[in-house]
Structure 1
Amino acid sequence: MLTGLAWLGLEAKSLASARKFYEDTLEMTVRSERDGELAIEAGKSDLRIRRPTAVPRGGLHTHYALSIPADTYDDWWDRLEAEYDLEEAQFGSTRSLYLYDPDGNCVELGQSDVDGPGIDGIFEVVLEVESLERAESLYAELGFETVDRGDRRTRVRMDGPIALELWEPHLGIADARGGVHVDLGFETEDPKATGEAIADRVARLEFRGEGDAETAVARDFDGHHLTFAPSENS
């Protein structure tokens, strides 16, 4: 049903500070800046970092993961450890490092099968939810598949266009928290059908635009905003 992640929205108090972190520290490219929002290229997706002046605001204290070529991991660690209190985790044969951006988002750089150079995609987002059962049901309807459950039954991991971690409130690796009022944009071949499929599982749903430009915009019961836009090849 979903073909890709178009964007992840984050909230920032200062766009200048956010820009310095993502452009200078993480060497990411700012695609555009307008109306109090930065669009930062992350592979085929964007980080949309915005001032809290409208709804959706963008996520607070969101833990999310960026893909880096596996053979560049040590270089990233060596460059970042002088300025940041890094943490590391091992997942099978791959490693991830963790640091925080100026607005308290926990940013993971994980070894991935990507070409690069540099950061080349968003592969995971963590959402804080009140009820795992309710949230899991919603995202399963969107085509995500449950692949793991935490030992304490406070989290569920689901695979789809990206990995989604659904967390009841708790602290994870590097004291990360799940994001609140996170704004996610997904690509889909049929936005109207996608929206209609979850109409009874969300708090609000509206359709915008017409024809090939039509999008579906939903807010789930945990306050996360989900936009479904036409895929580029649909």
Structure 2
Amino acid sequence: MLTALSHLALEAKHLAPVREFYEDTLDLDVVDERDEEVTFAAGESRLVVRRPSGVPRGGLHTHFAFSIPDAEYDDWWDRLAATHELEEHTFGSASSLYCYDPAGNCVELGQSEVEGPGIDGIFEVVLEVADLDRALEFYEALGFSVVDLGTDRRRVRLSGPVDLELWEPQLGLADARGGVHVDLGFTASDVDAAVEAVADRACRVQRRGEVGVVRDPDGHVVTITPERDR
């Protein structure tokens, strides 16, 4: 149903320091810039940072993860450790480093099977939800599937075009929190089918030509675009 993550949007009161972090510190290319937002290329996805000047807003205190080539991990650690407080966690044979951007988002750089060089995609986004079962039903209807349930049933990890974690309010690794009013964009092979699958669970459904915009039960905005427009 959903085929790829097209964008993730974050909110920042002040764009300049956040732009410097992603452009200069993390070497992301700026692909679009407006008065109230700046967009970076992150592999095939786009990272958007915007001021709170309209709807949808970007996400606050969002934890998300970038993919980096396995062989670059030590270089990234050395580079970021010079100016940022880092935390490390290992998952099987892969390691991830965690730091914070100037807007308070927890940014993970994880070893992945990507070509690079540098950041080559977004592989995980964490959303804060009030009711885990309700949120799970919504994202399963969009085609995500459960790969891990937390032992206390307050978090769940889903697999799809991007790994999606749903957390009831809590602190995770590196004291990260799930994002609130996160703006996510996906491509789909059939926009109508994707919108219809969640229409009865959504707080709001809009159509903008061929694009569907759905607000989930926790206020996260999911924009669904025809795959050919990506």
Q: Which TM-score tier does this pair reach, normalised by the shorter chain?
A: over 0.9
Task: Say if 2:212 is the partner of 1:216.
Answer: yes
Whole-angstrom CA distance in 1 between matches of 2:55 and 2:7 = 15
- Equivalent residue for 2:23? 23
- Equivalent residue for 2:173? 173
Contact 1:192 1:207 in 2 (8 A): no
Whole-angstrom CA distance in 2 between matches of 1:149 and 1:89 = 19
Which runs of no fewer than 5 residues in structure 2 stay unpaired?
none
Shift of 1:196: 1.2
Whole-angstrom CA distance in 2 between matches of 1:89 and 1:20 = 26
Contact 1:60 1:179 in 2 (8 A): yes
Whole-angstrom CA distance in 2 between matches of 1:22 and 1:98 = 14
The normalised TM-score by structure 2 is 0.98
User: What does 1:110-189 correspond to in 2, within 5 Å?
Assistant: 110-189=110-189
- After superposition, the C-alpha distances for 1:111-154 in whole angstroms (9 at most, x for unaligned) are 00000010000000000001110111110011100000111211
Task: Say if 2:65 is the partner of 1:69.
Answer: no
- Equivalent residue for 1:109? 109
- Equivalent residue for 1:89? 89
Whichever residue aligns with residue 189 of structure 2, its letter is: E
Task: Say if 2:50 is the partner of 1:50.
Answer: yes
Contact 1:23 1:29 in 2 (8 A): yes
Please identify runs of 4+ aligned residues in structure 1 that moved more than 2 A. Answer: none
Which runs of no fewer than 5 residues in structure 1 stay unpaired?
none
Whole-angstrom CA distance in 1 between matches of 2:123 and 2:222 = 17
Aligned length: 230
The normalised TM-score by structure 1 is 0.96
- After superposition, the C-alpha distances for 1:11-42 in whole angstroms (9 at most, x for unaligned) are 01111111100011101111110141111000
Shift of 1:191: 1.2
- After superposition, the C-alpha distances for 1:153-181 in whole angstroms (9 at most, x for unaligned) are 11000000000000000000000000000
Over aligned residue pairs, what C-alpha RMSD do you find? 1.0
Whole-angstrom CA distance in 1 between matches of 2:103 and 2:216 = 24
Contact 1:180 1:223 in 2 (8 A): yes
SS in structure 2 of the partner of residue 180 of structure 1: coil
Match of 1:230 among 217, 226, 230: 226
Contact 1:2 1:188 in 2 (8 A): yes
Q: Higher mean Cα deviation, 158-167 or 190-199? A: 190-199
Shift of 1:232: 2.2
SS in structure 2 of the partner of residue 228 of structure 1: strand
Shift of 1:233: 7.2
SS in structure 1 of the partner of residue 130 of structure 2: coil
Whole-angstrom CA distance in 1 between matches of 2:36 and 2:117 = 28
Whole-angstrom CA distance in 1 between matches of 2:214 and 2:82 = 42
Identity of aligned residues (%): 63
